[in-house]
């Protein structure tokens, strides 16, 4: 699995990157066919409280999954985005097992 974390217009902390890598390793155990993971971190509208946006794109053979969330912290936004992607992958697997 290739992992790419891109912080737009700021430098992501080592703790934040470690948090993301740890969570993605867990996801990889359950979904072994993951080829590529791209994480984009952005700060939107700095004057608002919930201004941390995280976008995650996960590529498995023949399918791309995408989720985007905006929250008070990057960790929270990342966790919610990852939950959404996990649901998408589970739904995809269920459909393909039934065929």
34-65 per-position pLDDT tens digit: 899 999 999 987 777 788 999 999 998 889 99
The number of folded domains in the chain is 1
| Predicted pLDDT at 9 | 82
CA distances from 57 to 46, 86, 98 (A): 24, 11, 25
* Band of pLDDT at residue 14, cut at 50, 70 and 90: very high
* Band of pLDDT at residue 17, cut at 50, 70 and 90: very high
CATH number at residue 33: 3.30.160.100
Instruction: Look up the domain containing 36 and give its range.
Output: 2-98
pTM of the entire structure?
0.89
Q: DSSP letters along the chain, please?
A: -EEEEEESSSPPPHHHHHHHHHHHHHHHHH-TT--EEEEEEEE--TTSSS-EEEEEEEEETTEEEEEEEEESSHHHHHHHHHHHHHHHHHHHHHHHHH-
* Band of pLDDT at residue 33, cut at 50, 70 and 90: confident
């Amino acid at each position: 699995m290739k992992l790419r974390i891109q912080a737009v217009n700021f430098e992501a902390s080592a703790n934040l990157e470690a948090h993301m890598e740890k969570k993605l390793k867990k996801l990889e155990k359950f979904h072994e066919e993951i080829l590529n993971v791209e994480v984009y971190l952005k700060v939107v509208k700095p004057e608002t409280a919930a201004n941390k946006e995280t976008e995650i794109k996960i590529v498995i053979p023949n399918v791309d999954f995408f989720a985007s969330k905006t929250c008070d912290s990057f960790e929270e936004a990342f966790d919610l985005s990852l939950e959404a992607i996990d649901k998408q992958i589970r739904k995809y697997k269920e459909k393909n097992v039934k065929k």
